[in-house]
Structure 1
Amino acid sequence: MHPTAAESLHLIHRLLSLLLLSCLTVKSFIGRWQALHSKLTILKTSLSEISDSTHWSQNPLLQDLLPNLLSTLHNTKLLSDQCHDPSSYSGGKLLLQSNLNMVSASLSSLQHDIDLLLKSGLLSQSNAIVLSQPCPGSGKDELGFFIRDLFTRLQIGGIEFKKKALDSLLLLLNEDDKASVLVAKEGDVGYLVHLLDPTNHYSVREQAAIVVSLLATSSDSSRTSVFEEGGLGPLLRLLETGLSGLKEKAAMAVEAITADPENAWAISAYGGVPVLIEACRSGSPVTQTHSAGAMKNVAAVEDIRTALGEEGAVAVLLQVLVSGTAAAQEKAANCIWILASSGEDFRVSIIQDGGLQSLLQLLQESSSSDTLEHVLRAIYALSASPSTATTLSSSASFILQLAELIKHGNVILQQSSATLLANLSITDTNKRAIAGCMGALVKMVESTKPVGLQEVAAQALVSLLTVRSNRKDLVREEKNVLRLVQMLDPKNELVCKKFPVSVISAIVAGGSHGCRKKLIAAGAYPHLQKLSEMDIAGAKKALQRLAGNRLKKIFSRTWRE
């Protein structure tokens, strides 16, 4: 029959008293016994503190801890007897010395566990024997106590205690979005990171990986805690060598941690660049998606960006563009855009690996606005290459796609598409083919957000209006003319005047009497006169083109009167 907790503690106190006296009179390894005497003295103080705790005997962790301590003290007493009478021991000094080192280490470990238990405050709680899962909406004090109990069980208990504690921790994090902040504050995230080590039992390691992943993806404070406790290195090792499920959790956590620019640099310190590339190349769809996301995060760091190029990231990312999940394609396209924008070497590499064709294909196939946004930006970055710009300018299908996005896309897609139109040398045939998007461009010229939209919309319009038939098509729609004239009004402060002025100037550049007539009828002339007096760029030239030589004097006299 096993002794009760009270009986075990009584026996421990008796053994401690004997050992504390014995340590002072040994004849062998006197220095080691002096060190053991110090440890035993501290242990006795801690045990007295346990005895003074109101509900210590109810705590289940002591059911394992006290018997282990009692066994260690028995071994220590046996060694003490042998050191008092060395002649009675035939095992040799080296073995005796080794045994002393072992009990010393065991006592240190047990003291650490006792300190944890005392620090947690669990021994003073009447419900410490079985803690129920806190209900949603529980107070911080109750949650904090529950979390401290879980982490104490994690660090002191055996495998079953650890697994149950991790189960409870997972349940808490899944049920309460805000729990991660309290876990980072009240728990020991560093110990969770330690559980990711391959030396731990697989089931414990797997649960710990899920917990760490949740903490890394749940809140800024818990993510910071995971990083500061050294979690990135073990997570990368899991991503490199773990089983599929562990790799997925590790990839999620690494992506979340590297989303903070101040953390992204550490990928290089842990040798993580080739790990991310390989995970993106050969991982499951989930692993691939989050690895691509992490690569996108770290590509902003110049040194890591260089390493990505050297390790062959471009080819892997382009393959994801073709065969990855929709989420993976979006993140890969974002990363390609960052790389293409960073320098000529990356642009050359992307183009040589067929990147332009892959991007154009994805532009046709994707239904995700975010993906299309990154694809357009990547294509724009590649268009800095003259050969790429020529290819894009002559692609009727690409130009038509841009026009469709200007007409039907969100404002970001409209801006990106207009930017490309404004910067490409499009043939007159293609300009005529996309005349239908000019009305949308006019609306964009009067839009105040995002910054730069008015300018690129005006530039794209001016480019399309070099074709005579497009000028006639634009003014044929009365609402287009009215919008442009309203934008010219000096009282309209929402639009920078040089943009509608440039469009008006382009409309009347060909000398079409019909275009001038419609603009004048809508009231463009007095607005341009006023803008000319205000020295708005291009206003005088637009006014001269609008009036024409024959009409100029007539209108000048009319408006003066």
Structure 2
Amino acid sequence: MGEEEQSSSQGKETDQPSAAGESSLRQAIQSISSLISLTYSIKIFAGKWKAITAKLEELNSGLAAVENSDGDENPVLAGVLSKTLATINECHDLARRCVDLSYSGKLLMQSDLDKLAAKLDLHAGSLSEIYNAGVLTHRFAIVVSRPGNGACRDDMRFYVRDLMTRMKVGDAEMKRQALENLYESIVEDDKYVKVVVEQSEVVGLLIGFLDSNEVGIQDGSAKIVALVAGFGLCKGVLIGAGVIAPLIRVLESGSESGKEGAARSLQRLTENGDNGWSISAHGGVTALLKLCECGESSGGLVGSACGVLKNLVGVEEIKRFMVEEGAVGTFIGLVRSKEEGLQINAIAFLQNIASGDEGIRNLVIKEGGIGALLRVSEPRSDCSCKVREIALRAIENLCFCCSRSVSVLIKYGFVDQLMYFLRNGEVSSQELALKVAIRLCEASEEAKKAMGDANFMTELVKFLDSKSFEVREMAAEALSSMVLNPKNRKRFVQDDRNIRLLLQRFDPDQLGNAGNKKFLFSILMSLTSCNSGRRKIAHSGYLKNIEKLAEAEVSDAKRLVKKLSTNRFRSMLSGIWHS
């Protein structure tokens, strides 16, 4: 035989095992698929067969992954396939005997099933070792087709297990692709979330990947964990599996995308104030504060970090630690951001951390918090209506509790801002401005005077004719508070239109719709303390309406008529005495 013939002969001999290996691989995949279908019809030893079916699905996914790699170049694969086929044949035999109830004894069959499960684990482990050794070259992205909409739970489980196998035995690219496909599945159909958390091994893989050195794998896992953490029932599963520490490590050293996923996960895991101590114990509060110090350059990442810290301020010790670390100044800086999400989170944080704590409220004021909030609420600012309204609420919550902060507000022009919202704001802004006006009136005498000087009462009287019951009620309440101030009473009665518009609300046929009757009568009672007020009420054409209400046993009307009558009698006596 010549050298050329000999060489050709050797080449053919080398090709034979390769072809055989490929044939065995295809045979194994087909046999397992058939076997899985058979196991669903087994009624006895249900628990053991359920576990065996899951192992078969995992093994099948691993073999499919091998099939889509250059497996024919790996001589070790042939040995694994040979043993796998033998176990599959054995499994077929046991499955058939369980279907036909033709086994010799229950204890013996249970023992055989346990041995079978151990063998399947061994084969899956062998495949994983081959893949991890790097001897198989990934040809192309292989992904089992995702079940269509309305697929049954078993089909979804099979698909997730297939992805899980790729995560376990695949190379970095295959793992990344499997994570991406799992993410897309959950986004498109949240039923996959339940399938994921039902399988602790999948959850364990995802958490393990958070510590991966491969950026794509770490980022993909962080994105999925953030999705799963958004479902209430899944939070306990993630926490129980130890997700907190890896998430914080991603915050400290991950990529921008990974950090954002980790921060979003922690925000969702702390929505009810839970898990604060665990985050603090792993250094999470410090890591989150450092991210917030980066400012708006990090966009959504800083917003999510703000959200986590906002959720944690309810824990007193953590709140004190944040204050010591300069969180108040950091978040006042974020209020000035140009990003809506950051502003909203920062304002919410400042309200939460200062709530019920005068010392921290004073710190917020001292570090420029009032100025920052006023700039955001400024009607002509670039901020959205939503941010301006949130800032108004924050000003109310933070600044109306002490006269000193109210004085600062007035000095900075807050009363003019409030007036602008009353006159020109959208309906929601006007209603909010009315609520804030009520609180501001009650905050201090200085505030009442400033609002009177700004002509607030004229605007409030107009709202007494609003179609909205709530608006009429709020306007009446604010006016009743403002006219308690003597200077405001005199200013109010100087304008005859104010008296007329107010008294028109006392028509007996309309008073039921006039807003809060108690506040309307309170306003009139205050006005009777002023000579010109008593005179204008008494000489108006509307006094008869109040008298009719008194005759109808309306107690507030009776008190008002009595007071007006007493004052007229005193005036008559005074005239006689001086005549």
Above 0.5 in TM-score?
Answer: yes
1:277 aligned onto 2:294: no
TM-score for both structures, normalised by structure 1: 0.69
Partner of 2:144, secondary structure, is coil
Contact 1:403 1:417 in 2 (8 A): no
**What is the alpha-carbon distance in structure 2 between the residues aligned to residue 191 and residue 72 of structure 1?**
26
1:520 aligned onto 2:546: no
2:344 corresponds in structure 1 to: 330
1:501 aligned onto 2:521: yes
**What is the alpha-carbon distance in structure 1 between the residues aligned to residue 274 and residue 367 of structure 2?**
32
1:372 aligned onto 2:388: yes
TM-aligned CA deviation for residue 137 of structure 1: 4.3
1:358 aligned onto 2:380: no
Partner of 2:147, secondary structure, is coil
After superposing the two structures, state which structure 1 stretch, 421-430 or 290-299, moved more. 421-430
Query: What is the aligned counterpart of 1:134 among 127, 140, 147?
Result: 147
1:169 aligned onto 2:182: yes
TM-aligned CA deviation for residue 318 of structure 1: 0.6
TM-aligned CA deviation for residue 281 of structure 1: 0.9
**What is the alpha-carbon distance in structure 2 between the residues aligned to residue 249 and residue 57 of structure 1?**
28
Over 3 Å counting, the alpha-carbon distance change for 1:411 and 1:144 in structure 2 is farther
Contact 2:313 2:352 in 1 (8 A): yes
Contact 1:314 1:336 in 2 (8 A): yes
TM-aligned CA deviation for residue 450 of structure 1: 13
**What is the alpha-carbon distance in structure 1 between the residues aligned to residue 442 and residue 272 of structure 2?**
35
2:208 corresponds in structure 1 to: 194
TM-aligned CA deviation for residue 294 of structure 1: 1.8
**What is the alpha-carbon distance in structure 2 between the residues aligned to residue 335 and residue 108 of structure 1?**
56
1:267 aligned onto 2:279: yes
CA-to-aligned-CA distance 1:441-467 (integer Å, 9 cap, x gap): 546897459999975674356559834
1:17 corresponds in structure 2 to: none
TM-aligned CA deviation for residue 335 of structure 1: 1.2
Percent of aligned pairs sharing the same letter:
23
CA-to-aligned-CA distance 1:394-419 (integer Å, 9 cap, x gap): 45x21121223344315344313431
2:421 corresponds in structure 1 to: 405
2:265 corresponds in structure 1 to: 253
Counterparts of 1:19-58 in structure 2, within 5 Å, are 56=60
Over 3 Å counting, the alpha-carbon distance change for 1:257 and 1:443 in structure 2 is farther
Over 3 Å counting, the alpha-carbon distance change for 1:486 and 1:471 in structure 2 is farther
Q: How many residues align?
A: 468
1:220 aligned onto 2:232: yes
TM-aligned CA deviation for residue 261 of structure 1: 2.4
2:157 corresponds in structure 1 to: 144
TM-aligned CA deviation for residue 374 of structure 1: 3.7
Over 3 Å counting, the alpha-carbon distance change for 1:411 and 1:180 in structure 2 is farther
**What is the alpha-carbon distance in structure 2 between the residues aligned to residue 202 and residue 366 of structure 1?**
37
Partner of 1:323, secondary structure, is coil
TM-aligned CA deviation for residue 116 of structure 1: 12
1:244 aligned onto 2:256: yes
1:309 aligned onto 2:323: yes
Contact 1:215 1:222 in 2 (8 A): yes
Partner of 1:4, secondary structure, is helix
After superposing the two structures, state which structure 1 stretch, 147-156 or 317-326, moved more. 147-156
**What is the alpha-carbon distance in structure 1 between the residues aligned to residue 432 and residue 254 of structure 2?**
40
Contact 1:333 1:378 in 2 (8 A): yes
TM-aligned CA deviation for residue 343 of structure 1: 0.8
TM-aligned CA deviation for residue 359 of structure 1: 1.6
Contact 1:415 1:457 in 2 (8 A): no
CA-to-aligned-CA distance 1:213-250 (integer Å, 9 cap, x gap): 22234x33344543443323322222222222222222
TM-aligned CA deviation for residue 508 of structure 1: 3.3
TM-aligned CA deviation for residue 545 of structure 1: 4.0
Q: Which amino acid aligns with 1:418?
A: I
Partner of 1:259, secondary structure, is coil
1:432 aligned onto 2:432: no
**What is the alpha-carbon distance in structure 2 between the residues aligned to residue 304 and residue 443 of structure 1?**
49
Contact 2:263 2:305 in 1 (8 A): yes
TM-aligned CA deviation for residue 154 of structure 1: 1.9
TM-aligned CA deviation for residue 353 of structure 1: 1.1
**What is the alpha-carbon distance in structure 1 between the residues aligned to residue 303 and residue 485 of structure 2?**
39
Q: Which amino acid aligns with 2:395?
A: I
Query: What is the aligned counterpart of 1:418 among 426, 430, 438?
Result: 438
Contact 2:437 2:478 in 1 (8 A): no
TM-aligned CA deviation for residue 204 of structure 1: 1.1
Contact 1:360 1:398 in 2 (8 A): yes
Partner of 2:355, secondary structure, is helix
Partner of 1:498, secondary structure, is helix
Two-structure CA RMSD over aligned residues (Å): 4.6
Over 3 Å counting, the alpha-carbon distance change for 1:52 and 1:320 in structure 2 is closer
Over 3 Å counting, the alpha-carbon distance change for 1:279 and 1:452 in structure 2 is farther
Over 3 Å counting, the alpha-carbon distance change for 1:453 and 1:225 in structure 2 is farther
Counterparts of 1:476-555 in structure 2, within 5 Å, are 476=498, 480-483=502-505, 489=511, 497-511=517-531, 512=533, 513-518=535-540, 520-521=542-543, 523-527=545-549, 533=555, 541-547=559-565, 549-550=567-568
Contact 1:448 1:495 in 2 (8 A): yes
Over 3 Å counting, the alpha-carbon distance change for 1:510 and 1:278 in structure 2 is same
Q: Which amino acid aligns with 1:523?
A: N
Over 3 Å counting, the alpha-carbon distance change for 1:55 and 1:432 in structure 2 is closer
Query: What is the aligned counterpart of 2:357 among 318, 336, 343?
Result: 343
Query: What is the aligned counterpart of 1:235 among 240, 247, 254?
Result: 247
**What is the alpha-carbon distance in structure 2 between the residues aligned to residue 115 and residue 418 of structure 1?**
74
Q: Which amino acid aligns with 1:194?
A: G
1:298 corresponds in structure 2 to: 312
1:183 aligned onto 2:196: yes
TM-aligned CA deviation for residue 279 of structure 1: 0.7
Over 3 Å counting, the alpha-carbon distance change for 1:406 and 1:230 in structure 2 is farther
Contact 1:481 1:522 in 2 (8 A): no
**What is the alpha-carbon distance in structure 1 between the residues aligned to residue 241 and residue 228 of structure 2?**
12
Counterparts of 1:99-138 in structure 2, within 5 Å, are 111=122, 113=124, 131-138=144-151
Q: Which amino acid aligns with 2:562?
A: Q
TM-aligned CA deviation for residue 315 of structure 1: 0.7
Contact 1:195 1:205 in 2 (8 A): yes
**What is the alpha-carbon distance in structure 1 between the residues aligned to residue 50 and residue 460 of structure 2?**
82
Contact 2:464 2:515 in 1 (8 A): no
1:4 corresponds in structure 2 to: 21
**What is the alpha-carbon distance in structure 1 between the residues aligned to residue 497 and residue 329 of structure 2?**
48
Contact 1:528 1:540 in 2 (8 A): yes
Partner of 2:242, secondary structure, is coil
Contact 2:222 2:262 in 1 (8 A): yes
**What is the alpha-carbon distance in structure 2 between the residues aligned to residue 205 and residue 52 of structure 1?**
28
TM-aligned CA deviation for residue 325 of structure 1: 1.4
Over 3 Å counting, the alpha-carbon distance change for 1:509 and 1:477 in structure 2 is closer
Contact 1:279 1:288 in 2 (8 A): yes
TM-aligned CA deviation for residue 314 of structure 1: 0.3
Query: What is the aligned counterpart of 2:407 among 383, 390, 393?
Result: 390
**What is the alpha-carbon distance in structure 1 between the residues aligned to residue 483 and residue 385 of structure 2?**
23
TM-aligned CA deviation for residue 473 of structure 1: 4.2
**What is the alpha-carbon distance in structure 2 between the residues aligned to residue 443 and residue 345 of structure 1?**
42
1:87 corresponds in structure 2 to: none
**What is the alpha-carbon distance in structure 2 between the residues aligned to residue 258 and residue 51 of structure 1?**
35
Q: Which amino acid aligns with 1:434?
A: N
Over 3 Å counting, the alpha-carbon distance change for 1:412 and 1:222 in structure 2 is farther
Contact 1:338 1:378 in 2 (8 A): no
